Structure 1
Amino acid sequence: MSSTTKTKSKMITFHGHENFRHRLILATLSGKAIRIDKIRSNDMNPGIREYEKDFLRLLDNVTNGSVIEISMTGTTVIYRPGLIIGGNFTHTCQSSKPCGYFIEPMLYLAPFSKKKFSILFKGLTASKTDAGLEYIKWGLLPVLEKFGFT
């Protein structure tokens, strides 16, 4: 068995754009490579959206050694996670999603990083479809504090 075949057999495959962020975060925490196929393949505008590309850039910034491959059509993403390193930087969020869309998954990664997470997010603070900053401040942070994360 060649090394390429071994790599492909260890990769977990998903279909569709549902739970895109969660799949990537769980792959990062578990160290497992994933492939996401058929991302909006039947839409008039197939493939990943700009805010999802933005999230992939953020994930690449807080990890070291991650490999992210996006097909030409954007309907397939291959992600091989690296080490969670954290860091100190500014992230300007896409105008179509609030900062909470990006902050929430970073809170899941932060306790496992090598360095302190210090990310300044710039962008919208709330929307009708995604977590706003109030949800994170009053809902998610108190739960994380009960597990010792401050």
Structure 2
Amino acid sequence: MTEPLKVVPENSEVHSGVTSAVSVAKGLRDVLADTYRLTFKTHTYHWNVEGPLFFALHNLTEEQYENMFSAADELAERIRALGQLAPMSMSEITENSVINDLEKTPSAGEMCEDLSADHERVAHRLHALIEIAGKNNDPVTEDLATERSAFHEKAAWMLKALSAS
């Protein structure tokens, strides 16, 4: 008998009809890493924005980081439903993400431009995940990735519109 507190999580086989759960989970892992890093970046911009765009950007980024934080949980749970382990370290998140930090403290306009570009990067990765999920008979992940892509595309548009001159 295993002691309850000594159970170690591990990958498992799932027979749901998904032809390559490992491939789909890898794509989900990358999107989860992007989502987690972008959540953090969005939150830090939320804390530090100043100037005439303060109120609009402060509120918009709060709405966005709350959405992404919730989405990170959905993405991780989908990975687990496919029998794979979700990332368990910050180094895994960093290694698998295309989101990067700026080298300087950005202005409010630069925050908008930076976040908009990041949302577009994540949407692009989600489009690739939709294709991977489709090729592997995984409509659940396709639906999740489509929903997430729509969020990121809208977020990019709103940030661009906010900072348009």
**Above 0.5 in TM-score?**
no
Larger radius of gyration: 2
Which structure has the highest helix share of the two?
2
- TM score, norm. by length of structure 1: 0.28
Which structure has the highest strand share of the two?
1
- TM score, norm. by length of structure 2: 0.26
Query: Relative contact order, CA 8 A, sep 6+: which one is greater?
Result: 2
